[in-house]
Every structure is written in C-alpha cells, then in structure tokens.
Structure 1
Amino acid sequence: QNVFESKPSVPEYKVASVQKARFILLHCSVFKALWDWLILLATFYVAVTVPYNVCFTGTEDSPSAARSTIVSDIAVEMLFILDIALNFRTTYVSHSGQVVYEPRSICIHYVATWFFVDLIAALPFDLLYVFNVTVTSLVHLLKTVRLLRLLRLLQKLERYSQYSAMVLTLLTSMFALLAHWMACVWYVIGRTEMESNDPLTWDIGWLHELGKRLEAPYINSSVGGPSIRSAYIASLYFTLSSLTSVGFGNVCANTDAEKIFSICTMLIGALMHAVVFGNVTAIIQRMYSRRSLYHTRMKDLKDFIRVHRLPQQLKQRMLEYFQTTWSVNNGIDANELLHDFPDELRADVAMHLNKDILQLPVFQTASRGCLRSLSLHIKTSFCAPGEYLLRQGDALQANYFVCSGSLEVLKDNVVLAILGKGDLIGAELPGEERVMKSKADVKALTYCDLQHVGLGGLREVLQLYPEYAAKFTADIRRDLTFNLQEGGEVEVGAWPPSQAPSRPRPRPDSGGSPEKPLPSILEDEEGQDEVFQRSPTAHRPLLSPPRSSPTCRGGPGTPSVQLPGVGGSRAKKPPKLLVPSLHAPETPELGPRVVDGIEDTGGPWEAQNFTAAPPPHSAPRGSPLP
C-alpha cells in the first residue's frame, strides 16, 4: 500500500454509499457552480431592468419602449423556471452534515425554503406582450417581486468571501445598483410633482428645471420635457453625487418631497461609506498585505545593516538571500502557520510537503506511522549561489536532501564531488550520542532548495520504532551520496561487497599511521625494473591518490619515503614515478566517484599525480630514463 496515497478530496459524508436516484445533481458539482453564476447574472439583470421599467416606461403611451427588452426578459424568465426544476433535483446538506439524495426529501426541503420566492420571481409577466395584452403599471410593480432573488445572492456571498477581487466587484456592483434604484425613485418624485398640477410646485421641480436647461420645457404635465434617456442620466448623476458627496447643485432638490428624499439619500450615503467603502478598504489592504509585509521586513533588514555597519559583501548576501527566499515561500512560515493544527493533520501536511525525501530507498521499509513522525522533524532550507551550507569542522546536526540545484564538496580547495537533485549528504547515525564534525565544505553553485532532518529528531523517531532502527542504520551507509563525517566512508554503496575497501588499521609502533606496505624504491642501477613494483593495494580498485600514499597530504603519522643514501631529501625522487600513469590499462571514467574524501575514477589504474619542484642538480622532468 502506498503510504502517500491521497485521501478523498471530498469529506467522507459526501461520498457515503447511498442509494442515489437518477438525475440527481450534486450541489457542490462544477455544473451547479456555473449554473449559479448564470442565475446570479440573470438576477442582476432583473434588478436593473425591473425598477427602470416600473419607473420610466410604466407611463409610456407607446408600448415600444417597454417592448425593447421583451426578448431578454422572456429568456431570463425561462432561466428562472428551469432553475426551479433543477432545484427539485439538487442535493443539499442537512443540519447533521449529511448530503441528502432522496428526491422526496429534496422536494420537501426546497418547498419549505426558497420555492415560493423563486416561483413568484419566475412568473412569466412578459408573456403578456406576446398576446398583445395591455401592460399596466400594476404588472410592472408585480415584477419587483423578482428582486427577492437577491436574498439568495446574500446567502452565497459568504462562500466567495475569501476571493478579495470577487467580493470587491460584488460590493461595487451593489453600490451602483443602489444608486440605480434611487435614481428611479428620484425620477418618480419629479413626475409626481409635475402631475400634481400644484401651481406652487409645478414649475420649480427638478424635471421642470432640467427641461429649461435642455431647451425642452414642459408645456403641461404630459407634453414636452426632456427625453427618458436624459432624465435617467440626470437622475443617476444626482443620486451618485449625493451618495458619494453632498452634490454639486446643478441638479438640486426644490420641493419639499425632493428635499426629504435628498436628506434620506445623504443618510444612506453615509451608511454606504461606512459599510461598503469600509469593506472595500479592508479588502484592498488584504490584497496588498503581502507586499506591505515585504517592504516592512526589507526596511527592517536595511535598518539592521545600517545600525550594525555590516560590510558591503555581507550586506549583499543578506539582501539576496532575503529576496530569493521571499520569492520561494512568499513570506509564509509553514511551521508557524501549522502550529495550532492537530498533530494528525500536521503530519499529513508534512508528509505531502516532504514526500520527495520520504520516498528515498532508505525509508521504503518504514511504516506509515514512522514516516508521519519523521515528517514532523523535516525542515526546509535554502542556499544562494556562493553560500556555504557547511564548513569544514562544523558540527553535523542534520542530513540534507537536495530538492533542486547544484552544490560542490570542497576540501583544501579541491572539488571532491558535485551534488545535484536527489542526492543525500550528511553522516551515519552513531550508536551513542556524540558530536560529529564535517570533514569538507559544502558550497552552493546555484540556487538550491534542500530538506534536512536533524540527527537528534531522527534518533528520537528511531527510538520509537526500534524494529526499523536496525534496518535504517544498515541502509544509510549505502544511500548516503556523500558522507561528511570525519573518518566515515563516503560512498559505501558504490563498492561491490566483494571489493569494498577495508578501513586501514593503525599500527601500534607507527604513531597511528595506517598499516599499509609502501612501494619499494631503489636507487641502484641494477634494480630499476623493480622500482615501480606495485604494492598489494593494486589488486583492488585504487584511490587516486591513496589516503596512505606519501604524495597525499602529510600528517604526523604519515610515513615518508626516503631514498637510501640521500638523507631523506624529497628532491631525489626519480621522475620515473610518473611512468605507470602513462601505461594505464583502461581509460578512466570521466564521472568522479567520491570515496573517503578522495576522487576515485573507478578504474583499476593508479595515477599518483603530484608536483615536486626538482632541484638544480636533478635530471629535468621528461628526460629519457637511463
């Protein structure tokens, strides 16, 4: 069984085995979501056209204006009727949290909730135009019942509250819709003042003043005046200016009724500023909160650099690291974010985030519980080009897995290995708890993403699962790409069991130097054929150069090769020591293999390449052999 098998994306109660009837639509399906958005657009269309038709075209003598939108109105009514039919076959979630599939229960639930509101909103009033029935203002007023469908819109707003741009668009649309409704009421007030034939108010209403400015004055209450289009634009202009400010006076209230409406408009405008624009401000701040946090932390970092007077090179490294890590995680601290979640959920999230390292061969035999515990100890880290992950002599506290990027292992400015994606570096887990130090530097060549598990946390997990501890201890030697531990083998898994090099044993009389026979070096002319006699180490895959070779880095216990009669002078080493490298039986592989800190070409030849400055009296390099 795959321990990384994903769980169902839908909760269990949604996939419970039930006797599902035919033609039942799941309420959380993609089709239902798209259908709800289509009904939402149709509801907005109704919210705009119904008040306009009631206020502006309800008194038209000619039905041409009212019939201009007859096709779209009938199409919307058909959508509402079809929506009612779909709601009778759409599942819902009960109070107990269970999805109800039974058709009878669905019908009862829908009839008891939104059926009558949807039914009244779907009454085909516009079909009266098809049969040439005279449509009165009462019919238009009945169509305002369709605005009740906006209540269902408010019910669904909470579902999309996490989408800031969407909520911002909906709030702006609601504000514009309110201004549209109030513009319709403002026009009705002006028409009422004109039709009242009051000699005190007939010629001072806002419509009468508008007609004078547009050179289309009213002759009487029904003749003359501005067009419907001009009157609607002027009404919308007045309501928007009153809602957002105190108006500009070019369209103003003159009669008592108009002044009362203006007062109400200003009060509603103040409320809209508090509700709508307050939410809009919060939404905009939330949309740019990450950017604001980035600039805040960047300013803190620059202030820190300035206060402590860090050098330019160190400053550049800090700024580059901060900018690069921010682009990777967007300033989100996963550990802090998941801190309050239960351990079971955090373990599942951690297994998903760290699945690359948990799928290594060394963890294949671990149980799911062991992997879940181990995933909680895995952390992520990042390295910029030129940065050192570890320095020689640093305490090894974790094993590192390279997720992406490239690193190099250096020792004495010599590249021992190049690490890439999928490589594992670190140290073996010792039986006792002790401090282990790195024997080489690890430097990033490119931007690198790494995952590391602390040796302390790894030891805790293995104590909880002792049945896996022995297997892990044996496998980690093979799976480590490079062993950074001082004295540890580097690439154990690269050697066949029959050819695995044994660790040199120190001799008691040599001060800890390895017990290894050295090549015989003779000075006399007769023994020149035996000067390059191969040591027993040539019978196994040789290192280049061997660790115990005198040409390698010398230590206190390293034996030196002296020529007889020369007083131990290294200048007397014959250049013929380089001859074996010219007669290599095989061409070495170009890909370096790393064993115990020394590059191994993998071939059976021994190339002891070193540089020794010859003294003035020695034979020049490259001279023919005697």
Structure 2
Amino acid sequence: MPVMRGLIAPQNTFLDTIATRFDGTHSNFVLGNAQVQSLYPIVYCSDGFCELTGFARGELMQKSCMCHFLYGSETSNPLTTQMQKALDERREFKTEIILYKKSGSEFWCLLDIVPIKNEKGEVVLFLVSHKDITENKDQDHDEETGLEIRQISRPSGCNMERRRSRAVLYQLSGHLQKQDKTKSKLKINSSVLGANANPVPEYKVADVQKSRFILLHYGAFKAGWDWLILLATFYVAITVPYNVCFTAVEIREDGGSAARNPPSVSDILVEILFIIDIVLNFRTTYVSTSGQVVYDARSIYIHYVTSWLSVDLIAALPFDLLYAFNISVNFGVHMLKTVRLLRLLRLLQKLDRYSQYSAVVLTLLMSTFALLAHWMACVWYFIGRSEIESNSLTSWDIGWLHELAKRLGTPYFMAPLTSLLGVSESPQETVTAGLSNYSQWNGSSLEPLNGPSVLDSGQWNGSKTRVRAPNGSGMTVSGGPSVRSSYVTSLYFALSSLTSVGFGNVSANTDSEKIFSICTMLIGALMHAVVFGNVTAIIQRMYSRRSLYHTRTKDLKDFIRVHRLPKVLEQRMMECFQTTWSVNNGIDVSELLKDFPDELRADIAMHLNKELLQLPLFESASRGCLRSLSLIIKTSFCAPGEFLIRQGDALQAIYFVCSGSMEVLKDNTVLAILGRGDLIGSDCLTQEEVIKTNACVKALTYCDLQYISLKGLREVLCLYPDYAQKFITEIRNDLTYNLREGHNTEVQQLPNVTTLPLFTWIVLHSHISYQHVYSQMGWTEQMPPQKNTLPLESPYECYESFLP
C-alpha cells in the first residue's frame, strides 16, 4: 500500500483547543449557543460541571446557560440581571455568586462568561465557567471572626462515577499538566486560556499550525530527498564491501598497513548527505498511529529519537575524517565502515511507498540480487587473497587467484621486502630476485608466461599489488592480476554460482574456497527461485492487500468517470475510501470472523467494542447480554463536514462517538456539540413506529463511530427482559442528545410520568404475544386478553392503562 498522507482535511478543532488551554482547576464549564436570543441554550457541558452540580448531561442540554436551575433563595437577583445583560451585549462578565446544587446544598461560585467568536468575528458561543470557591470564602470569614474552619462536605451524588470519560477535553489533547494553583481566582482568561495566546479560541475550521521550518513528509522536496538518500544508500552498499576487500594495502616499516588512496569526493558527499538527512528528520512531519499528521516539533523530535536516530547516527559516523588528521587507516577501520549497511534497514522501511509501482518492485528485486552478487564477489576475492597471505607453504599457490594470475601471464612472485621499500636493490635487481624466488616457490624453471619476459620489458606485467609473504620471512608476494580483472572474475564466479552450478573456468581449489562455493550455491538456489522463478507468485502473495487496494481504487475511479460525478463528490468518495482503508486495511471483520465458533467470535467482538460496552448504560447487563450486543455493533466513519444524520431522516441506530467532534444542528443553529464518549440516538425502541430525527448531526473533525441498529437491539433485549426494564430507564439519562422527533414536547407535557417498562412497550408495538413474553420470563399468570387491543398512539397512554 502506498504511504498515507495522513488526515489533512480542514477540521474544526475548537474542543481540542479548549482542552489544551483549559487549566484542570477551571474545567467546570458549559457552552451556550449565542445565536438563540434570550435563552442561549446549553450545547455542551463538561464532566467537571456535572460532578460539581450533580446534574446529568442529558438533564442540562438545551437549558439556558444562565443556569437558572442552580438559583435559590440566596442567589443575588441583581447579579443574575447583570449576567443576562452581559449575554445580551455579548461581553465578558465576572462575578462571585451563591448557587445551589441538585442536592439543595449551596456553594459560592466564581462565575466567568467569555464570548467565543467565529472567523467572521461573530459571537457564536458563550463559555460560562464555574469554580467552587466555598472553602476560600469560609477561610476568609474564619480569619475575620476567629472561628474554626468549617468543613463543607460534598454531596454523595458528586462522588459517583462519571458517566463518560473526560475525552472531549482531556483525551483529545493528552494529559494536561496542572498549572500553579496560587494564581488569582479572578484571572480566568490569563490562567485558563493562556496569557500570551489569544484569549479564547474561535469556533471555526482550524488552520494548520505549522512552522515554516517543518517539512511535510509527503511533500515534493521530501520525496526527491528520499530518492537521493536511496541512491546514496545503494552507493554505500556497493563501495563499503569493495573497499574492505579490494583496497590495496602497502607494508610499512613498522609492520602496520594503511590505505593507499584517500577517500573520494563521492564518499565525503555521501557522509554529508547522511548527516543532513538526520537534521531533516528532526523537522519532518509523520503520521501518528491514529492517522493524524503531527506538526509539533517536540513530538517529531521524540518520535525520531525513539525510532531511527541510533541507526542513522551509527551509519553516518565520519570514518574518513581519519585521513584529514593523518591517522593510519588499517583494515579494521575499513571493517568498521560496514556499519553503514544499517542504512539498508531504512530502505526496507520505505519500500511501501515504492511498491505500488510494478516496475519499481522488479527493479528493486533485481538490484537486490545484483547487490548480493557483488557482496559474494567481494568475499570470494577476500578468500583468495587470504589464501595467498596464509602461512601454509603448500596451499598459497593453488588458490583461484594464483590460477588466474598464471592464465593471464601476471604471476605472483617473491621479492625481498627491503627492495620494495627502496633500501638497496635497483628495480632490475628486484625483479630478477623476485623471479628467482618465484622459480623456487613454483618448483619449475624460470620461463616467460604468455608473452614477453618481464625482464625484457623492464616492468611487471601485472598490477603492483603486494601482500605479505606466506612464511613472513622478510619476503613479500608481488605481481598478480589487476584489481579490475580480479573483480570482474570474482563477479563472474558469484553470478554463475548463484544462477547455476558454474562452468569450471573459475573453480574452488582450497578448503575455504570450496566451503564458500557450497554456501554460494545454496544461497543461489534460493535466490534463483525467489527472484526469477516465482516473481509473479511473490508479488501476488506479498502485495495481495495492495493489489486489492489498487483494484478498488481503480473501480472507484472508473465509477466516477462513467457516471461523471462532480469533483466534490469524487473528492469525498476518495478521501472516505482511503481513510477507511487506513483504519481497517481493507479487512471486513464480519467476513473474517464468520467461520469462527460463536464463543470465540463473541469474545473477539467484546474486545473490539469494549469501550462502548463499558458505558454505565450496560453496567447492569449480564455477560450473555453483552456478548449478544457485541456481535451487532458496527463501525462507521465521518470526515469533516460530512453529515451523519439529516433532519427528518428515519433513525436506524444508536451512535457512540469513539473519537473526534460533531455538532447537532437545526436550522443552522447549534443545539449540541459532541465529543468522544457521547451517545446519540432515541429512547424509543418500538418496532412499527418510524422514528424521525429532529436535527442534523455533522462532523467537525475526523470521527470514528460505533453504532447498534435498533432492530438488532430490540431482538437482544427481548431475550433479556430483566435488563430491558433497566435499559429503557438508563438510556434516557445516558443519551447526550435525543434525536427523536417530538421528544422535547413529550418531556414538557409529561414531566412526571413513570417510565414504561420496555418489555411491555415492545409487546404493545409488535406482533409478539403476551403469552410469549410470559413464557420467556417464566410467569404463570396471564394478562387479560382485552389488553392486546389497547390504542397505540402513545406509550405513556398504554402505560397509564395498566395503572391501578
């Protein structure tokens, strides 16, 4: 699959911004809709506010943000009048006022009203913050009167478990660090919303906050840079083994060895590129596990330090600086350079972004095979040279390098070490002594090999390669084939051994060479089958998911082209498909689990949907009921600006917001703002009645949702009637917003009607008989038959007919 760009569509991150800037001590607030004059209904309330006042969120939605329900006998009327005036004038207001909790206990409240504007400068929301300052008031009073400090006990309702997680304000932005609690209680704007930032965030689609020095991981510059680093990595993979095995060494008087040639310009440029790449990686965005593009410099720094920094640092060590300080570079230093091959690990990480192109895949496979052959050639030459340098007097002249030298007419011969160091002999004497020694080592008479004699030509026919003498007795082996001939022959042997069994013109003679040849043939058999014999099968097996992705993408594009869809719909379709694919990787969970046993499927489903099943709504459900519910839970996704539900639609499910932010709209008026952990739907679960929605639900950011179809929910609850009674009671309190049309009217007309038991409600609105319900519940007494013919206009009327 190609590299994902991440979720980059414009989002309304108002709730995220509030969560980032809000101090934990001032998290008790409500948001009121400023577009509804006089009433200013509550569209969002924090968990802290619910805990402070004792009210549930479902009880507070659409009530005035003036919070009249908190007023009591000691509440100051002049202050409430000033609050109403401040809302009407759309200005900030601060005061200290006595309010009352749901339990009836009073508390001193530091109240602050802050207007929130959109991008046009219009006030669209009011943020009304409440802080309990009763203890401070009591301390001030006790200091004046000398009385003992009075302890204010919290009502029992405030200590209950919160009905939903603090996700909207805290989990969206991570854990907030507590700020200094000694700040002035009147400086809410500076301490709550940040002193150096804008006093309040705007309710609008947020612009991407990116530093000018941050690079986009999907940008054109980064893509070109990655290709440049890819080429540099291949260069390192080729040159490092070559330099280790083929770089000639010269014998110094002190017995050490140093490279003959200093590093090339290309070597230095590659080291510079690797160092620059490390710097750029500290300023390059990345896609988090949730799919969001991370622009924050600190997060990027931590991500890189904990992932690839150590590998990149080791691979970028500037060994070639040793030449600048005139330090002897021996064979061990060249071996240390092999750590640069760790850069190949980064290459494996980035293969996904290239693998969508078939030509690139085949090129990379062939390049990998050629690179392996190059490494084998280097090792083959290293073994041949080691055989000549060995101390064995019987095997140094039977290796493949010695045989190649004889065929090319560039034999190895012995020469005094002092002559090669320029101490006494002239070049003619050196060669004469060398050929004499060669005659002794070879055991044959001294005759010209394949051409004019080296004595007649006055120079060596081979390269000036010199290695240590086999017996280490003041003599050195000189001559031999050139480096070019040696490498070409080594590569020829490696490729012939990897692709076949070789042709015998370059053969293994010593034990070391034979062992290496065996290993090469085994590796070659595997590589030949993998790269050449099963290329198609490998691509289908390894990239089947990518193939499916590209197939579906092509089908989408063909569909768009054939039906001539507008550009807007095309963009929405492609973005939804790509984002959904990034979440599930094209895996249909229901299709994948259909062949598993019911017991195992239920356990897996409970694990996948544990966040939804942990809601207080399902606390009293048995494990069997939870397992049945988990099997009917589905997932959905909404992009910013997408409508989940439109006003007047038939409601088919109850939705749970797993991540992201949404808003409930009616006639372009915000009725509620939803975040992670919110539940929306209907409290009516009748079968025949079509539930019409009373508002629209629109996504502000990328949202992941889970939903339970009403039909499946009714079927499960019929199997568990005991829990069904509790469910109908709890769902009305747990719904963040009730989307059923006419819900508000019923609540106003029948505020004190007892809730109808759900099993009775289902029976009245379905074809299920009372006798079936009785048998399911284990009852013996039957309901009078005439009850089956009761009118079905309202569930409350049906319930009243059963009252004594």
The structure in which a higher percent of residues are strand is 2
TM-score, normalization: structure 1? Answer: 0.44
Q: Which has the higher contact order (CA 8 A, sep 6+)?
A: 2
